[in-house]
Amino acid sequence: MTIIRPKIKLLDEEHQVEILQEAKDILKSQGIFLENQEVIELFEQNGINRDGNQFYIPSDVIDKCLKCAPNKITLYDREGKESLTLQKDEIHYDPGSAAIFILDENSGEIREAVSKDFIRFSKIVGHLEHIEAQSTAIVYQDIPKEAQDWHRLYIALSNCYKPIVTGTFRKESFSIMREILLTCRRSEDDLARKPLAIFDACPSPPLKWSDLTTQSVIDAARSMIPSEFVSMPLAGASAPVSLIGCITQHCAESLAGVVIAQLSKKGAPVIWGGSPAILDMRRGTTPMGAIETMMIDIGDVEMGKYLNLPTHAYMSLSDSKVPDGQAGFEAGMGALLAGLVGVNMISGPGMLDFESTQSVEKLLIDNQIIGMVKRLLKGITDHGTPFASEILKDYNETEELLSHPSTLNLFKKEFFFPSLIVDRMNRNEWNALGSKSIRKRARKEAIKLEKKPHNNPINETLQKELDKIASEGLKK
């Protein structure tokens, strides 16, 4: 029996109440900017007042919509097998999405990606035991810009069976992406019952929902596909510099997302997500590895939990350009804090350089970090008393405990076994194996995984159907 699930908290209930109230007041008095024609009509039908593109959402509408949003989302894999559930403090990780570069392991340089990078990436994600979801992680350049969103979904599902976090870059792309998802299910109802994908939708700070992202929420809601709101206030630039101000703004932007989704379709699954950041006041960059960025994430997620909604955050990223010590400590802190707060979907593994770059080496290292985080969250187990005294009596007889029955019985339950990329060698062995850093060992591991057959490969019929949709899509 686990004694306690390790947990951290940055907000108390008094402040959660205050933040929620202020966020609702912001939506009521300052309003939200909307430009999508469908949502404008929807808001008007629901009697929401407007002044131009600014819509003032009354608190009772927000409360009603919050009541309709489900507090649990179960995702299913490509083949329709139950895969993971987003609820309470359950945690799951997926690689950070939509990197426009890849860190080339051979040249050591960051470069623009091509489709074969993403094919390889997706296949490797299929082999990673601690990362339960995949994502359309890399934007590659060897297909037309118009296909850059949906084509990734096609490549990802062709090469990895795991449920997926994705999103549109163009309004027109939703239909082909839905078609791709439907190919993996028996019917529209089947897709609604067994969601395979989450669609990210990013409001623009402060307090704006663009045409594209609003449309994505509406379209996803109507198909009962989960939408993940990725509100991204930038503390000190497009959001208040105070962490609590940022959390309040995030809350208002996300509440507007809940209203858009629920007015589109009552009961539509939504995820309270985010990718906030502080602005680095020296460089003007958006450090995802900053501790304050992670603190805003935690506050945002605590608000989502307060509202009893499934949660998401962009954590376990690094701003380093290579998988070095900085990448290790930033990703390690992010993954650990996200685990401790109980973020249901944690996007970020593999990412470097302010969400711009994916690295297979880092992804493999992060997979190990996540394995350790999950071990931590299992906590300390009470196996029954006495805890030690009887075993210690036995030690006196054998002068070792390796062969003790309790050791054999429990060691695999009590210890996490990292892969060989984590250095636990003695120095002689390490020297004998070429004195390699974790980065080099991860590179070697990547080559091994790349050569392994696909984990849970796609069946031929489904692959042909997906190929057909993709080839027709590219002709358009």
Partner 1 sequence: MSLDDINLEISEAIVNLNKEKAINLAKKAVSENLNLVEVIEKGFGKGLERIGDLWNEGEFFLPELMVGGTIMQDALNILLPHLKQTTDTFTKGKVVIATIEGDIHSIGKTIVGTMLSANGFEVYDLGADVPVDKIINEAIEKDVDIIGVSALLSSTMIGQKKLIEILEKKNLRDKFKVILGGAPVTQGWSEDCGADGYAPSAIEAINLVKSLIN
Q: Note the residues at the interface with partner 1 (CB under 8 A).
A: 33, 35, 98, 100, 112, 139, 145, 148-149, 169-170, 204-205, 208, 210-212, 234, 236-238, 279, 281-285, 354, 356
Minimum distance of partner 1 from residue 465's CB (angstroms): 27
- Dist. CA 476–CA 474, nearest whole Å: 5
Minimum distance of partner 1 from residue 203's CB (angstroms): 10
Q: Strands, E, within 109-212: which ranges?
A: 110-112, 134-135, 164-166, 197-201, 208-209
Minimum distance of partner 1 from residue 6's CB (angstroms): 35
Minimum distance of partner 1 from residue 362's CB (angstroms): 20
Q: What are phi and psi of 208, to 5 degrees?
A: -130, 140
- Dist. CA 216–CA 83, nearest whole Å: 24
Of 107 and 403, the one with the shorter C-beta distance to partner 1 is 107
Q: Which residues of 414-441 are buried (b: 16+ CB within 10 A; e: fewer)?
A: eeeeebebbeeeeeeeeeeeeeeebbeb
Of 277 and 336, the one with the shorter C-beta distance to partner 1 is 277
- Dist. CA 166–CA 399, nearest whole Å: 56
In Å, how far from its chain's centre is CA 412?
Answer: 28
Q: Count of residues for the chain?
A: 476
Of 282 and 412, the one with the shorter C-beta distance to partner 1 is 282
Of 173 and 183, the one with the shorter C-beta distance to partner 1 is 173
Work out the number of other CB atoms within 10 angstroms of the CB of residue 51.
Answer: 8
Of 206 and 328, the one with the shorter C-beta distance to partner 1 is 206
Angle (CA) 75-81-82 rounded to 5° is: 40
Sign of CA dihedral 49, 39, 27, 52: negative
Of 35 and 190, the one with the shorter C-beta distance to partner 1 is 35
Minimum distance of partner 1 from residue 22's CB (angstroms): 22
Of 236 and 418, the one with the shorter C-beta distance to partner 1 is 236
Q: Which of 21, 70, 36 lies closest to 309 in space, CA to CA?
A: 70
The token duo for 26 is 């912001």
Of 152 and 441, the one with the shorter C-beta distance to partner 1 is 152
- Dist. CA 274–CA 301, nearest whole Å: 8
Torsion, Cα 367 372 375 380, to 10 degrees, reads: -170
Give yes or no for a cis peptide into 70 (omega within 30° of 0).
no
Minimum distance of partner 1 from residue 261's CB (angstroms): 20
Q: Which of 230, 241, 250 lies closest to 299 in space, CA to CA?
A: 250
Of 100 and 462, the one with the shorter C-beta distance to partner 1 is 100
Minimum distance of partner 1 from residue 284's CB (angstroms): 5
Of 241 and 391, the one with the shorter C-beta distance to partner 1 is 241
Sign of CA dihedral 330, 231, 96, 377: positive
- Dist. CA 415–CA 185, nearest whole Å: 39
- Dist. CA 21–CA 129, nearest whole Å: 41
Minimum distance of partner 1 from residue 11's CB (angstroms): 26
- Dist. CA 469–CA 459, nearest whole Å: 16
Minimum distance of partner 1 from residue 234's CB (angstroms): 7
Minimum distance of partner 1 from residue 113's CB (angstroms): 12
